[in-house]
Amino acid sequence: MFAVAGELPADDRGWAYEFKWDGMRCIAHRKADSLVLHNRTARDVTALYPELGPMIEALPPDTVVDGEIVALDHNSRPDLGLMQKRMNLNEPSVTADLVGHVPVNFFGFDLLRFDGRDLTGLAWHKRRGFLEEIDFNGPSWRVPPVFEGDGAAILEAASRLGLEGIMAKRAEAIYLPGKRASAWRKIKLVDGDEFVVAGHT
């Protein structure tokens, strides 16, 4: 499920807010005895992120988590420049070398399937409740915080932290795989300035 670009809701009631992580969207599927990671184009990227392999122990079989793979800078903030060093690699030796220098984390923000049960038809807040019941916090994975109400304050906090922006999600929204829906809104922080541009011939 994908978000549309937009503004903060005029009324916070019925909305929840998450920080927007500047990384690579990823679906993590714990099968019977393996963990498979797919990016947003359905490419299998499992081999590129070996440090996420132990995440299998945190999930029951036949469980699917939607999230973001991020690389954090020395201030623990997502850094897309660092993340790009890990994306689109094909050489296992290069990947292994970068694991120690550019480690990644998986931030799981939605639960699509749990122990064989399809949750996509449930409201977002119910799926989130299931996700928070799992002990999904490890050395390279976690459930990031969510906030209800006062989206303006959350957006201001994202700005202070130097983040990309925030996500607004309707609490009652079901999950629509492969769809872009207004029930998920991305509010980006954009820096601006004024310039005078002059030309001469």
Domain borders along the chain are 1-21+145-189, 23-143
Give the pLDDT score at 75: 84
Query: Nearest 5°: phi and psi at 102?
Result: -130, 75
In Å, how far are 21, 35, 121 from 61, measured between CA atoms? 27, 9, 20
156 pLDDT more than 90: yes
Q: What is the mean pLDDT of residues 64-70?
A: 97
Query: What CATH number was assigned to the domain covering residues 1-21+145-189?
Result: 3.30.1490.70
Catalytic residue, candidates 20, 85, 126, 169: 20
Query: Residue type for 1, please?
Result: M
Position with higher pLDDT, 90 vs 52: 52
Q: What is the dihedral of CA 52, 57, 60, 62, to 10 degrees?
A: 40
Give the pLDDT score at 92: 59
- The verdict on whether 20 is a catalytic residue reads yes
Query: Residue type for 20, please?
Result: K
Q: DSSP assignment, residue 175?
A: P
Average pLDDT of the chain?
91
Cα separation, 29 vs 84, in Å, equals: 23
What size, in residues, is the chain?
A: 201
95-143 per-position pLDDT tens digit: 666 777 888 999 999 999 999 999 999 999 999 999 999 989 999 999 9
Query: What CATH number was assigned to the domain covering residues 23-143?
Result: 3.30.470.30
3-state SS class at 23? coil
Q: DSSP assignment, residue 6?
A: -
Give the pLDDT score at 101: 81
